[in-house]
Amino acid sequence: MSDNIGDKTEAARIIENGKAILGMELGSTRIKAVLIGPDNSPLASGSYGWENTHQNGIWTYPLEEVWTGIAGCYASLAADVQDKFNVELTRFAVGGFSGMMHGYLVFDNTGKLLVPFRTWRNNITGKASEELTELLQYPIPQRWSIAHLYQAILNGEEHIGEIGLITTLAGYVHWKLTGKKVLGVGDASGQFPIDLETRDFDAALVEKFDVHVADRGFSWKLRGILPEIVPVGSNAGKLTDEGARLLDPGGNLKAGIPLCPPEGDAGTGMVATNSVRVRTGNVSAGTSVFAMLVMEKKPSRVHSEIDLVTTPDGKLVGMAHSNNCTSDYDAWISLLGQAARALGADVPTPVLYDTLLDLALQGDPDAGGLLSYGYISGEHLTGFSEGRPLFVRRPDSNFTIENFIRSHLFTSLCALRTGLNVLTDDEGVVVDEIRGHGGFFKTANVGQRIMAAATKTPISLLETAGEGGAWGMALLAAYAIRENTDQNLPDFLDIALEGSIGEAVKPDPSDVKGFDAFFERYHKGLTIEAAAVKALDQSDWN
């Protein structure tokens, strides 16, 4: 990646002339936007905080809040542009939108939402996942759109016959901004299996599904309700007048701006870390955590623990995905911050995180015998459809603040490690280095050391590790207007991201040994988590 454009006058001219490039990603807790220059370096950024809600047993976001959040994020970006360059943001060369993958967003043929958005976080499709995996002989995780669709069919839900479109969050946003019901192949690969030759939904498996549900008498066929897949680097539509107002209700943004294919957060993570070539890998760690290894060949058999998705240019990726990562230790750090304030110390949040997380490196290698589970929601990798966050210890455990923080960092990666063992131990997948991004790495040395211990692999970081997804989406948008149309995505990224990846932190043998001991304790203690789920029934706590 080139250095940031140092001349503010030049940067202002780029933005004013509509030569900058926009990337926006709707993550679990933040919507982030990045504006980059023609040299692919960040110029300005914006964000908007939001949270999912648990309503009637479903993790969801109201669609009205999607647009409130997008407009708020864009306003934040425009304000940053105004503050830095004294320029009004009215246009850009090209844009792209990304979102959390998977989930269930279904609309009828008039565009009416049929049921509230069911996010990736819901573990309510176990039967569908199991039956589809057997039917298709392809791993269909509970999060996938097709699993949600089939579970709704099994449940006999009334809306099924009315479906005209099933899409993802990014696909929905792109549709409303452009009128185009399309997806990039990476995001589409979290809806239904992809044929690696055609880079489209697997036609043979689509037919298998249609035959399987034919006796239900639906008016639709599966391919007719799935979005069209648009190749990476293509124009996927233009911002309409209505779309421009959704993005910028103030009316300053002009319509007609081209948008690239929408992608999922897995794909933007691969792009931002330049991990789209075979034998490369990356890990995205925040509210959830997932590691993606670009594979040389298909797995020898179906593994229910592993997602098979694709890079944005259609290569096979083995993905281990854990629903829970930082949410519980975020809650604990917030509590410790409240304690500090009660004692008269008003510690800024970044200082609070850096100070407390750094203590984890001073703890015992195995976290002193402590044990915690950050199961805010269910965790399919360990067999839980619901979660109960908890912390336990033996009377003789070494109960210190250092070990307490270390235990929460360790446990946030144990489910991920469970899935990775399938790829590395069972399938022999090897990568030399894993590149990390996401909030887990904001206290960089801590995040790298703990992740290196959990994965037993050197961990390097993107310079903009905390903003990787939105920046990755901006790079995909930039690829859509590249001068050399014969240039493939990996080669484009090699140039765009040159010098942007820091030095890798190698696994410390003591950390690895300590994590392995904690990991063994974690699996032995899953019966405690199961008992907590049973004992703390939701109906008893309303």
What is residue 321's three-state secondary structure? Answer: strand
What is residue 317's three-state secondary structure? Answer: strand
Does the pLDDT at position 5 exceed 70?
no
pLDDT range class, residue 6, cuts 50, 70, 90? low
Does the pLDDT at position 467 exceed 60?
no
Which range, of 222-236, 255-269, 401-415, 457-471, averages the lowest pLDDT?
Answer: 457-471
- Proportion of the chain above pLDDT 70, given as a percent: 97
Does the pLDDT at position 104 exceed 90?
yes
pLDDT range class, residue 438, cuts 50, 70, 90? confident
Task: Give Cα 223 distance to the centre of its chain.
Answer: 25
pLDDT mean across residues, the chain: 93
Helix axes 509-524, 526-535, angle to 10 degrees: 40
Taking only the tens place, the pLDDT of each residue in 334-388 is 999 999 999 999 999 999 999 999 999 999 999 999 999 999 999 989 999 899 9
Taking only the tens place, the pLDDT of each residue in 265-314 is 989 989 988 999 888 899 988 888 989 999 888 899 999 888 899 999 99
Does the pLDDT at position 207 exceed 50?
yes
What pLDDT score does 539 carry? 61
Question: What residue segments make up the domains of the chain, in order of their start?
Answer: 274-325+417-467, 327-411+509-537
Does the pLDDT at position 157 exceed 80?
yes
Does the pLDDT at position 219 exceed 90?
yes
Residue with tokens 């008003």: 346
CATH architecture of 274-325+417-467: 2-Layer Sandwich (3.30)
- Name the nearest CA neighbour of 67 among 181, 176, 183, 179: 176
What pLDDT score does 443 carry? 87
pLDDT range class, residue 541, cuts 50, 70, 90? low
- Name the nearest CA neighbour of 205 among 135, 154, 150: 135
pTM confidence score: 0.81
Which range, of 12-26, 83-97, 465-479, 493-507, averages the lowest pLDDT?
Answer: 465-479
